[in-house]
Chains A and B, each alone.
Chain A
């Protein structure tokens, strides 16, 4: 389901960050050049969620201004999607922050 895609994408991204893929091992490691950072990934995920929310906003706005072609069920489904996408994104974010804090607590 596409409503899960933003979350799913985030999950896959995390997977690729946490567990280095075999394909990456075959690639020549470039030192000093970090690949697309975690911050970028989080930004992208938030951007995706934002897009879903913008769609929902548009649907609701069209509905309340009685634009032709805007229906209540469409608006409601868009709203639900936005809500789920946001919650999913937030869950992933909290999970990541938790992991980061866990690492910070490592005894040196």
Chain B
């Protein structure tokens, strides 16, 4: 069984990983060579909603709480962009260089969305903690 704060933590971790991946994609937007050969491939993460394992008392929790879990990082298998640069060391026999299929503008937009996602999770975490503190105030003597 896990609780709301764990769900929020997992959400924050997922958003953070997404930003890391996006940073990597932007940084390597022009990378034409990789150890595995060919240009850098755009990466993306796969997130799955993991619900709490069935426990004796928490069938309601099981319904409400779903924790985002990163299943893995996948490489985009789409065709690389070709640019005619015969003098480039990574050019093919026809003189074309394969560049990663990364749209920097779109990636920047994705990054903004990921940042907002992180902020939203922080807000959720904040109000969660605030609720706990407020609950303590019910006891008037303290």
Contact = CB atoms under 8 A, between A and B. Distances in A.
A74 interface: yes
Contact of A3 (B13, B16, B132, B142): B132
A91 B9 CA distance: 27
A76 B9 CA distance: 10
Given A2-B3, A3-B5, A74 B13 contact: yes
> How many residues of A sit at the interface, in one of the four size bands?
10 to 19
A74 B9 contact: yes
A52 to B, nearest CB: 11
Given A1-B3, A3-B3, A77 B136 contact: no
Contact of A1 (B5, B12, B13, B122): B5
B4 A73 contact: no
Interface in B121-137: 121-122, 125, 128-129, 132-133, 135-136
A12 interface: no
B5 A2 contact: yes
A87 interface: yes
A84 B135 CA distance: 10
Interface residues of B, number: 22
B142 A73 contact: no
A73 B12 contact: yes
B125 A77 contact: yes
A84 B129 CA distance: 8
A71 interface: yes
A4 interface: yes
Contacts of A95: 139, 141-142
A95 B129 CA distance: 22
Contacts of A94: 141-142
A81 to B, nearest CB: 7
A84 B12 contact: no
Contacts of B12: 71, 73-74
B133 A84 contact: yes
A57 interface: no
Interface of B: 2-6, 8-9, 12-13, 16, 121-122, 125, 128-129, 132-133, 135-136, 139, 141-142
Interface of A: 1-4, 7, 71, 73-74, 76-77, 80-81, 84, 87-88, 91, 94-95, 98
